[in-house]
A and B are shown apart, each in its own frame.
Chain A
Amino acid sequence: MSYTIIETCTGCGACVRICPARAITGKKKDVHKIDGDLCIECGACGRVCPSAAVKDQFGHVCVMVKRSQWKRPAFAGDLCMSCSMCIDACPVHCLDLSEAKGPKDLHGYPYLKEEKACIGCGFCEAECPVGAVTMVVPVQQETPKKTKPAAKTASRAAS
């Protein structure tokens, strides 16, 4: 199974640029195509497509989301066992293991090293066996009271 692109595609190429598996091809202004053998179903193309032209593996049309609103992994250090499965799962290699936490705990722990590179796919969350990764919208984009203007500030910050 794989994501697909439908005729509403305007050929802007946003998906080509973000696809970590380099699964998307197409000429500018032409309808693009996803290679089903290469697609890893990360959903990034659907989140960037401005023309609602990407369908997920279940056939639902994806909704574009402002990148600042994409979920990012947050790590629960007390649950984490430093197994690095999340790091391995990340298709854009934006996670890394930290230095030792301190003299009492020589383990390194995963952290989001390249925040801008994260495509919000949630593979890290899905592959962590102990539930130490949770996908959340980055904190600095939220206001404490969840009032409406928050979205506006966020979108301006992102553009």
Chain B
Amino acid sequence: MMQIVIASGKGGTGKTTVATSLAQVAAERGAVRFLDCDVEAPNAALFLHPVLETHRDVGIRVPRVDAQACTYCGKCAEVCQFHAIAVVGKKVLVFDDLCHGCGSCTWHCPEQAISEHLAVTGVIDSGTTPEGIAFAQGVMNVGQTMGVPILRELKQWTPATGDAPPSTSLRASGALEIRDAPPGASCPVVETMRGADFALLVTEPTPFGLHDLKQVAAIAHDLGIPAGVVINRDGIGDAAVGTWCADRGLPILLRIPMERRIAEAIASGQTLVDAVPDYRVGFQELLERIVAGVNP
């Protein structure tokens, strides 16, 4: 299954607009699964209208210490690089909100005194869209700060049997996965991109857009993922994005002009290709270029 990540260095550039339209045209040619990885504020469901019928709690596995078995040797605290577990005197303290669920303490405890318990940090909602796109989104609980564990679970998600399309067809070579990345250039973006076959970077032709594009392009580059650019609101700003892409050999795969009807479609909860069907061809070509680029 080919995996495409749609990313942008900041929010509001039209990343979800591109991701949802790409998913719709992809669904016309084969099985698609869509992952909304913006766990702080997922919004692709507002455009793709999936029926989210499955909800699964996810989180991190935090340690719990059996006071009977513990010898207070301090090994767990020593190996925890996040200082989430402390041993003082005859007490072991665990700070769930510092814990990354890495399992080191459990692994190193010489007395097998540690067991792991799920601390729920979010939920994965999943279902199917009217076009048959298998859809899942991760939603981080309010007050939580670590999105990466939810993202890892989300990337593992496979549609349950009975959901259309069946997971067997998703494993077929023509199947596509589209991940809508969180905005920004921090750990959750890196985690979303990791393992993908292609990164589609959405930007605006302004100095701010270029600044943010450079950051996400650097992540894709560091992860060794081929990338291409979509320029949204083309016509505003200047030509610096185009020049920089040319210098770096980053192909500009699509330009979406600044148009009032596009903004209106998005405000009304429609995807771009539904609201303005003349963009359908552009997105089909975009998809073909990505697929051809990855499997030449």
- A and B are interacting partners: no
Q: Which chain B residues have a beta carbon within 8 Å of chain A's beta carbons?
A: none
